[in-house]
Structure 1
């Protein structure tokens, strides 16, 4: 099959065919393209059309590899058994590629300082509920969700100072001394905490006349792009940039499995103060033990019963027999497949503040209601299923622990026959219930959702309360090739189009400059049309203006 693809498709530089598990299982094709070929073209259709039917019928999936993280070198030099093994490991989540354009060629460190570390505790355990939640997201989105960035260093900082900080991070926080262990045959992962080890601090020196910030940006881009083997690498990549012998910048990147935004805020505070007392909270090995205990199983069973009840519409409610909201999809999916856009709106921020002041409903619940109203209006269905990201830090045992405890919970909102104020009240009650029930076995919830068939579950992440200094991978500049659409003081712009998978639909809220609200939407064009997503963004602003003007007015659902 590989030789036939190379012979029939001159734009394909290399091809690796990976057979399925059974005798009649479909094959996967991995292809790299020549430099002048368009990676976003319909290569699956082109190649299957070129192949004889007997071969084309055996192709189950085709992946265009745009970097050398999987298929390495020209066709004649590829180690095919190693490539097939790496594909299976990648699909299992044992290692994952990064994000961003990277830096070509990658900067080469002048020196690597060996940094030994040690800390209390060791052992193996299953992944915790929070770790499994974010790891599943990393696998779905096919990257390690880089966290961190770069910052200037105070004058007089020495490499030894930053090596001591790196040793402090590894020694103090168990998640920084944890790697994954895999049973690839069964598709299971666990965690392995060690009591001591060593890592490296990379030192980069600027060339004469080179701006150190430019070099720091290149190192950050290389760190973000470089794949992560979660079995062999520690969760922290750290580098120091020097100019004329003086340390000028620090670059720190961590994979998201190690910590969430709440954990990052605790870590930055404690690192700044060099806190020496025992770390607070229930650490991951303790969490895993409790979750497997009888008390943990009872807690999970109660939560699953709540989810099942929430997904079952009351028979007496208007429109109860209607399915959850679905948005109209495109007849011809776009290429690249996955898009993101962003509405930056001072008017939305002002309306939300006014609604919250008038009703006493907190602004997070107000925004949940407004996004749900706009979503339901487009779908012409009153029932919306939302997957809100809940930090779980209000739980005393998890308040100050540096690890990943946030989870995507479940919120079902039935807006049939409501006024805006009634919708706000329902959103407040549903939000409180979602927060209370956001600590659970994520695989069990997926099974509940699969049985109930809730349609599109919209992921919802309100990051406005995240501490400054935590960098997120979803930040992006508007695509300069796309015209921005301006209405009043508000601007909608497309951010990114690419093959990197997203959730079918997710909404992320941030605070923009001058107090405006930033509403970012990430979506799969095979499920939702871009014009529908743009209409959804403007629809949130429109619903906010209507709710501010008259809370007794009907939502029209």
Structure 2
């Protein structure tokens, strides 16, 4: 067994996986189906599985916390990989068609501490082996690597020795990540995010969040006409296709909602050029891309602006994950709300392939005609997931969304609007964005959010904010309103229990921070029914320390959480009415805290919740006991 520190990328994926509720972890499972030749035996499949994992270090890697509390990757030596079996009624073409035991095996989380990040399921139809289902954790491979792995497995079933070995890739990745260039790039990225994150608006998409649901409605189009239009734009604007498509998506969303600022979390492929092209691994990093639709811009100008924003995000996508999480948590208190990034944009554009395909000089030879929208379901915790797939003769654009965000009618109209914007812009790159938005709009657009707009980039769910405060300050009369220009959010609170209410406000304000749309007021006006009182700023409320700080654990969950945090961090007695980040907590401790709680039989609080900005008492309230089998009670 080989041992090495985790790469930053591995650490970030592992942390994100542990932060995701178990029921939603399926979104990090990349699934591929492999059709088997007639007469394939189970022994052939088992031999192929063993050969494939012996070829790729990434598929034999587990993650652990070592005896010194350090996060490490453990690369096991070559050996057999268990192959599961399941019976189906018929051959399937998509993972969503899997049922019974096969579907359960696809959805069952991969325990990265004890399991290799690959699960192979042999699918039988009428007792005969017909297909393999590959389930690969995203930490071990990206989609392109999984597609390549699918071809390797198919070849290995027929002739295992035809697939050669790729040695020692994980050590090479560590060497590349720890070099001077990578360190300089990481330091630059942290400076960038430290300056930018405090000024970012907390919410850019003010709509209902149903965080307990992870099922999305997926709509997509396959269109040769769209591929032609993208090639035309690519040549005329001289911009990358991902920037063109993202600009069109932003314009469609602006037309639908009336909003002009959009922020996407996007995935950047940072695969080192020095690595063997056949190396299976994940080289994806997350970054934020934020851009504003400016009235009066032409489409070409807007694409240039979006492309600059994307390149800025790409440049700063590699940095120390711990420090970035610390920055995000600290800035939440300063901002008064969490940084909500519910939208993901992923792209598989292939500009090089596009140049080889000739577009007729007479284009467009036909009038615009929307492609047929196809539908499926998709598991993902994101609110909105947009993707442009690899472009050749046909372009595929998909948009997945929660039903709570989009009606089926608006969902279809949005996909058609993206297609129409691309088509119209290809005919005239100087067309104003306002004209494109109006042309692509569906009836009854824009659908203005029912939240309250504090300023151009600041929204608040006023009713939810008022309701949250009223619920936490039992017996107090709470009214929230806007005052001044520019508007500030003011909470007017009348209470008989003045001092206890002020103490409760500090706890309530911290617990408001992680909830999208609920904004900690800028000012609190506290009054007694008999008269008198005072006005407190947000910082006053956060800094207020009651005479008797609550240091005694009030529940078993609080006692366990206190013991774990104080042991793992080495800090003194913690105040459970404040957040962990305020008391010196750091992201580097989170995975150790997760496993320490699990070892004591507790789970239920996402990893990042521990760091903040909620009060530790609120974190403890989310913990749940597990039974002997690991199920939550």
Same fold, TM-score > 0.5, yes or no: yes
What is the Cα deviation at residue 302 of structure 1? 1.4
**Counterpart pick for 1:489 among 363, 366, 370:** 370
Q: Which has the higher helix share?
A: 2
* Mapping for residues 122-521 of structure 1, pairs under 5 Å: 122-130=2-10, 132-133=12-13, 136=16, 139-140=19-20, 142-144=24-26, 145-182=28-65, 190-202=72-84, 220-241=102-123, 247-268=129-150, 272=155, 274=161, 279=166, 283-288=169-174, 291=177, 296-308=182-194, 323=201, 326-330=204-208, 339-344=216-221, 346=223, 348-378=226-256, 380-393=258-271, 395-397=273-275, 399-417=277-295, 418-449=297-328, 451=331, 456=341, 458-463=343-348, 489-492=370-373, 495-496=376-377, 502-510=381-389, 515=394, 517-521=396-400
Which whole-Å deviations, capped at 9, do the CAs of 1:70-119 have from their partners, x for residues lacking one?
xxxxxxxxxxxxxxxxxxxxxxxxxxxxxxxxxxxxxxxxxxxxxxxxxx
2:41 and 2:10 map into 1 onto residues whose CA distance is 37
State TM-score, norm by structure 1: 0.59
What is the Cα deviation at residue 447 of structure 1? 4.6
What is the Cα deviation at residue 422 of structure 1? 0.6
Higher relative contact order (CA 8 A, sep 6+): 1
Q: Flag the 1:300–1:532 CA change in 2: closer, same or farther, 3 A.
A: farther
What is the Cα deviation at residue 460 of structure 1? 0.3
2:124 and 2:292 map into 1 onto residues whose CA distance is 57
1:218 and 1:337 map into 2 onto residues whose CA distance is 20
On the 8 A contact 2:262/2:290 being kept in 1, the answer is yes
For the residue of structure 2 that corresponds to 1:342, the secondary structure is: strand
Q: CA RMSD in A?
A: 4.4
What is the Cα deviation at residue 391 of structure 1? 1.9
Listed as ranges, the gaps of 5+ residues in structure 2 are 352-367, 438-633
Q: Flag the 1:138–1:205 CA change in 2: closer, same or farther, 3 A.
A: same
What is the Cα deviation at residue 442 of structure 1? 3.9
Q: Flag the 1:131–1:399 CA change in 2: closer, same or farther, 3 A.
A: farther
What is the Cα deviation at residue 224 of structure 1? 0.9
1:174 and 1:355 map into 2 onto residues whose CA distance is 41
Which whole-Å deviations, capped at 9, do the CAs of 1:271-306 have from their partners, x for residues lacking one?
5375666526x7335534664676644331112234
For the residue of structure 1 that corresponds to 2:264, the secondary structure is: strand
On the 8 A contact 1:310/1:412 being kept in 2, the answer is no
* Mapping for residues 49-68 of structure 1, pairs under 5 Å: none
On the 8 A contact 2:216/2:380 being kept in 1, the answer is no
For the residue of structure 2 that corresponds to 1:410, the secondary structure is: strand
Which residue does 1:90 correspond to in 2? none
Which whole-Å deviations, capped at 9, do the CAs of 1:448-500 have from their partners, x for residues lacking one?
5553766546310114669xxxxxxxxxxxxxxxxxxxx95344566449xx6
2:236 and 2:255 map into 1 onto residues whose CA distance is 24
Which whole-Å deviations, capped at 9, do the CAs of 1:424-467 have from their partners, x for residues lacking one?
2223333344334433334444455553766546310114669x
What is the Cα deviation at residue 377 of structure 1? 4.5
On the 8 A contact 2:54/2:79 being kept in 1, the answer is no
Which whole-Å deviations, capped at 9, do the CAs of 1:169-223 have from their partners, x for residues lacking one?
2212112212232589x9x8643222255432346689xxx75779986553232
On the 8 A contact 1:241/1:247 being kept in 2, the answer is yes
What is the Cα deviation at residue 154 of structure 1? 2.1
2:375 and 2:139 map into 1 onto residues whose CA distance is 28
1:552 and 1:216 map into 2 onto residues whose CA distance is 48
1:305 and 1:400 map into 2 onto residues whose CA distance is 34
Tell me how many residue pairs correspond in the alignment: 399
On the 8 A contact 1:311/1:412 being kept in 2, the answer is no
